[in-house]
Chains A and B, each alone.
Chain A
Amino acid sequence: MIASSIRWPMVKGEKSNKEITRELIAPNEQKPAMWWYIGMTIGTLALAFGGWAAYMSVTVGLGTWGLTNSVAWGWDIINFVWWIGIGHAGTAFTIFFLVFRQRWAASINRTAEAMTVFAVMCAALFPLLHMGRPWLAFFIMPYPNTRLLWVNFNSPLFWDVIAISTYLLMSITLWYFGMIPDLATMRDRAKNKVSRALYGFFSMGWDGSMISYNRYETLTRILGGLAAPLVVSVHTIVAIDFAVSILPGWHATILPPYFFVGAIFSGFAMVLTIMILIRKAFKVKDFITAKHLDAIANVLKYGSLVIGLAYAIEVFIAWYSGVSYEMYTFLNARMTGSFSTAFWIMVFFNAIVPQIFWFRKARQNVWSLFIVSILINIGMWYERFIILVSSLAEDFLPSSWTEYTPTMVDIGIYVGTFGIFICGMLLFIRYIPIIAVNEVKAYKKEGN
């Protein structure tokens, strides 16, 4: 294959395959550093807080949440959508960059996919708890049963359950199969019997032969092809949950693609945050180069464009529609009324701040990348807050208007999901190579 001279190498420096393996697997073979234990402690504390909150929600009931008759979807659904959004990026990262032959994504795929799996798990927790009696969650599955009950097939909420569980299954499969060759490497390098047996079990007898690789590539292609529509479907259906209702601010045809792009946007921002941390902690700057971060920042620039455009279109069409409720929601409640602070935070963090990535200096400075990626995640949280709460709290009838404030239990569950996420990610980086070693080796000579 011929590569143009202006392409940048994926791996910095001339490294042999052996060196690559050694450098990338080394962190898994050493005792974890201090920061790992600190992180685990923080994660566990967060989990404990979340455990208390979940206990309260189940034993006392949903009355412990800040929900009211008007605002029946609050922090629970905001955080659900927020996590689901982040959970998009991993699979999207693999699939869409594969489509555009962006080989550099190979060194980020693994971590992004791990992030997806944990984020979707965090997300799934919210609707589960929102059911009030999570032990009856299986009621939502459609199967002939002695209760003689069927789910409502016409309800987008049911579609949501199907979409998310399928997506979770698919992301885990994609992530796991992607790891097999590396797990085999871990197996071969393992020093004690237990880890050899475990890595051996999970690497499914991988022998690295030509025929294995051949089948493996075919499998990856098929999984990738199946995953692509699933990535889109998940957030589309989350958007449809809102869009098919008739609430002002929710009933908008733009919602599915807007949610989808928003999800990719927030997910990529999270990928950027995590990659910067990992790069620092694991000293893998030769594999996740400044060019990698630059490329993600560029994607964020376009994500920000679409999101900003969607905000503008929604406001314009609200006026253009001439419907007084739509006009109230957008022009009064959101832009100038009770929710204006959150609205302008959302616009500023999502649509304006990321445009700083037009400047090369901003794309190459780790600090600016880090700060912007955090701001985007805050901005995207506010976006979900605006969409959900502003439409519910001030809808058609002023007599049913209300204010919404979360309780300690709401906050506890949210913090708890961070606990799941932090612990999950830390365990992942402890036991599995954070960068797909086999892919990096395959692409190391090809430019990007």
Chain B
Amino acid sequence: METTYTPKKNMNLLFAAMILVGIIALVAGFVSDAQRTWANILLNNYFFITLAIGGLLFYSIQFITNSGWSAIIQRVPQSLGAFLPVGAILMLLLYFGLPSVYEWAQPGITETDKLIAHKAPFLNVPFFMIRILIYFALFIGIGYLLRKYALLQDKSDDLKYFNKSRYFSQVFIFVAAIFFSFASKDWIMTIDSHWYSTLFGFRNMVLSMYYGVAAIVLITLYLRSQGYFREVNDAHFHDLARYLFRFSIVWGYLWFMQFIIIWYANIPELTVYYEPRFLGSWQPLFYGEMFINFVIPFLVMMSDDLGKKPKVLLYISLLLMVGLWMNIYMQIMPGIFDTMKFGFVEAGLWIGYAGLFLGVVFLALGKASLVPKHHPFMEESLHHHI
């Protein structure tokens, strides 16, 4: 069993080139339209932080459900979490662009807008930045502990560290449920500063798990194509496919619930959010997003035979990455702009971020054994056939 990941020579070069594209897009964006660039920075920050949190949540869920099958691929979700410190820095950099993205951060707005004035004790720049620090301190702190105990377990026969990992994975679920759902409200919902939805945080929490699994699938498939993870068989992929299938249902459910309740009650203060998205110029994306994130994965993954095929999983997961982007795009942009904008800034920045994200994740993968050692469920995972 090949247990150490050594990156191909060109990999880092590729990531560097991607980051370079991102930097060019960043510069071009700031020269042409600074507001649009800041909005895209937020979009991509959130995109990749979502994947990182989703990875760690998946990792934690394996502990609380006593899942044995996933032991072999555990390093993949764990490594997604390595992006969190980078994500924290990128979120903090948003400080310089807050007024471009958030209406409430514009100076003097509290004098003209009564509702924002009411929210000012919560929606103000210093407190917003402090909250970012708190969120990341918790995410990174517990993510670090999870990583630490996993690596210590590699060196020890004693199950002490495994039990510690199990304990902290419970803590992580609590922390992520409370703080990531809140962070989503904080970073995304407050863009439409007059609007509110109690479901928003839960919805985005599920979003992170859903796309986190898609990212795990993609990285696992890549590693397998490079000759690692030879023991990962159809049954493992099938289980991942089941995760995708179920999360697609939960995602669709929450998406629809938020919409139907607001649509049915038809209160202007709340329908204001869906007006541009559902009836306005953003409509194609509104339906497109539903198709890509729910209808297609749901119908394809319903079949047991298709779910076992790595190729199908590959395409679905790639599609879901597009879906995630559309999803976040639709959460952010209609609150800032009147019309859809898509060009080099959007594409380039995403490529840059993706390069950075993959660079960090693969670096983390290379730092430790790719397959956990002394994992009590490893034998089960190696002989997983359902």
Contacts and interface: CB of A to CB of B under 8 A. Distances in A.
Interface of A: 1-7, 99-102, 229, 232, 236, 240, 243-246, 251-257, 298, 302, 305-306, 309-310, 313-314, 317, 320-323, 448
A232 B253 contact: yes
B64 interface: yes
B246 A99 contact: yes
Given A6-B159, A309-B177, A309-B181, A322 B118 contact: yes
A81 B261 CA distance: 19
Contact of B261 (A253, A298, A302): A253
Contacts of B269: 321, 323
A257 B380 contact: no
Interface stretch (B7-15, B65-73, B129-137): B65-73
Contacts of B253: 232, 236, 256-257
A317 B115 CA distance: 13
A5 B376 contact: yes
B158 to A, nearest CB: 12
Given A244-B265, A256-B253, A305-B173, 13 more contacts: A4-B376, A101-B65, A229-B249, A240-B260, A240-B261, A243-B261, A244-B264, A246-B267, A253-B258, A254-B199, A255-B198, A313-B181, A320-B196
Interface string B63-92: 011111000000000000000000000000
B199 A253 contact: yes
Q: Which 8 A-B pairs have the closest CB atoms?
A: A254-B198, A253-B199, A244-B264, A322-B118, A254-B199, A252-B198, A253-B197, A256-B257
A240 to B, nearest CB: 7
30 contacts: A1-B383, A3-B380, A4-B379, A5-B376, A6-B376, A99-B242, A100-B65, A236-B253, A240-B260, A243-B261, A243-B265, A244-B261, A246-B265, A246-B267, A252-B198, A252-B199, A252-B261, A255-B198, A257-B202, A257-B254, A302-B173, A305-B174, A306-B177, A309-B177, A309-B178, A317-B196, A317-B197, A322-B115, A323-B269, A448-B66
B144 interface: no
A102 B200 CA distance: 30
Q: B-side binding surface: helix, strand, loop or mixed?
A: helix
Task: Find the residue from B177, B197, B257, B258 having the highest chain A CB count within 10 A.
Answer: B257
Given A246-B267, A314-B198, A317-B196, A253 B262 contact: yes
B267 A251 contact: yes
Given A4-B379, A298-B64, A255 B261 contact: yes
Nearest to A8: B66
Contacts of B380: 2-4
A264 B261 CA distance: 22
B119 interface: yes
What size tier do the contact residues of chain B reach? 35 or more
B246 A320 contact: no
Nearest to B118: A322
Contact of A313 (B198, B257, B261, B265): B198
Given A4-B68, A298-B64, A321 B181 contact: no
B286 interface: no
Nearest to B257: A256
Contacts of A255: 198, 261
A100 B258 contact: no
Task: Find the residue from B174, B261, B262 having the highest chain A CB count within 10 A.
Answer: B261
B122 A2 contact: no
B55 interface: no
Contacts of B198: 252-255, 310, 313-314, 317
Contacts of A257: 199, 202, 253-254, 257
B377 interface: yes
B379 A2 contact: yes
B196 A254 contact: no
A229 B267 CA distance: 29
Nearest to A5: B376
Nearest to B206: A257
Given A317-B196, A320-B196, A102 B265 contact: no
A254 B377 contact: no
Nearest to B267: A246
B257 A305 contact: no
